């Protein structure tokens, strides 16, 4: 069929490209080239959207790496570690010495720190008690001598609770101990002179008659003792 015999579409103005068997025209499709495409051809790249004049944001920079320890820092750390080890050895040696002093018959096995601390505390209490007894004995002896010198009765003073309580506050190692002791004795005597002041017995007048001796002279030697025995 001649091309001039094909109808023209009333709206698009395109001429039909052929006729169907029933006589209806075959209209061309807009946009089609009429040629097949190669399936192996890759698709055209899609253009980027957005403003092409805007510069792309730079990628964030990685944080800087932390510097390692310096030679001075390493030397200082080594020195501290050495000192800590020496202190640990000294403490262990002191602990062993205390343990040996408290338990001389103990074996070389490691002791329980809690038991060792309890033993040390008990030994400290015993030493404190002995120290207090020694202090009280020194004070009472000094008070006895000072009372006799001051003309007081030491036996009655040391039986007084008030006077003993005053002595408990005195320290024999103090430089003012003698002054404080004399003041305590004076205060006790002045509180009750009749009780604490020593009295002097009246002097006897005339010669004292002792009478004839009632005992025989003792022999000076074994020979005298035998002779005296035989002369009876």
Number of domains in the chain: 2
Residue 55 belongs to some domain of the structure = no
Residue 185 belongs to some domain of the structure = yes
Please report, rounded to a whole number, the percentage of residues in the chain having pLDDT higher than 90. Answer: 5
Residue 171 belongs to some domain of the structure = yes
pLDDT above 60 for 50: no
pLDDT above 60 for 87: yes
Average pLDDT over residues 144-158: 87
Average pLDDT over residues 161-186: 89
CA distances from 202 to 17, 158, 197 (A): 175, 26, 16
Average pLDDT over residues 12-25: 83
Contacts of 188 (CB under 8 A, 6+ apart): 152, 157, 160, 162, 163, 166, 196
Confidence band, pLDDT 50/70/90 cuts, at residue 121: confident
Residue 48 belongs to some domain of the structure = no
Residue 16 belongs to some domain of the structure = yes
Tell me how far apart the alpha carbons of residues 177 and 190 are, in angstroms, rounded to a whole number: 20
Structure letter (DSSP) for residue 32: -
Is the pTM above the cut of 0.85?
no
Confidence band, pLDDT 50/70/90 cuts, at residue 82: very high
Which of 10-19, 35-44, 162-171 ranks highest by mean pLDDT? 162-171
Tell me how far apart the alpha carbons of residues 157 and 150 are, in angstroms, rounded to a whole number: 12
Residue 143 belongs to some domain of the structure = yes
Confidence band, pLDDT 50/70/90 cuts, at residue 81: very high
Residue 161 belongs to some domain of the structure = yes
Nearest Cα neighbor of 25 from 58, 1, 44 is 1
Residue 150 belongs to some domain of the structure = yes
- 31-45, 92-106, 131-145, 156-170, range with the lowest pLDDT: 31-45
Rg over alpha carbons for the chain, rounded to the nearest Å, is: 63
Please report, rounded to a whole number, the percentage of residues in the chain having pLDDT higher than 70. Answer: 66
Domain extent for 6:
1-31
pLDDT above 60 for 212: no
pLDDT above 80 for 178: yes
- 32-46, 78-92, 111-125, 190-204, range with the lowest pLDDT: 32-46
pLDDT above 80 for 114: no
SS3 for 19?
Answer: strand
pLDDT, the chain, mean: 74
């Amino acid at each position: 069929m001649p091309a001039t015999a094909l109808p023209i579409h009333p709206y698009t103005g395109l001429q039909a490209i052929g006729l169907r068997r029933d006589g209806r025209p075959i209209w061309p499709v807009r946009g089609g080239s009429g040629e097949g495409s190669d399936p192996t051809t890759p698709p055209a790249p899609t253009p980027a959207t957005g403003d092409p004049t805007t510069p792309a944001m730079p990628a964030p920079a990685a944080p800087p790496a932390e510097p390692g320890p310096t030679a001075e820092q390493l030397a200082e750390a080594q020195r501290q570690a050495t000192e800590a080890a020496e202190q640990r050895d000294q403490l262990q040696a002191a602990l062993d010495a205390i343990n040996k002093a408290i338990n001389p018959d103990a074996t070389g096995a490691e002791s329980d720190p809690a038991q060792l601390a309890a033993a040390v505390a008990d030994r400290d209490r015993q030493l404190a008690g002995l120290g207090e007894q020694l202090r009280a004995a020194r004070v009472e002896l000094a008070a006895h001598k000072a009372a006799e010198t001051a003309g007081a009765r030491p036996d009655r003073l040391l039986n007084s609770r008030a006077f003993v309580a005053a002595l408990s506050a005195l320290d024999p190692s103090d430089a003012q101990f003698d002054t404080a002791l004399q003041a305590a004795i004076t205060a006790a005597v002045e509180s009750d002179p009749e009780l604490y002041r020593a009295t002097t017995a009246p002097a006897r007048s005339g010669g004292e008659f002792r009478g004839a001796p009632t005992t025989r002279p003792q022999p000076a030697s074994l020979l005298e003792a035998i002779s005296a025995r035989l002369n009876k």
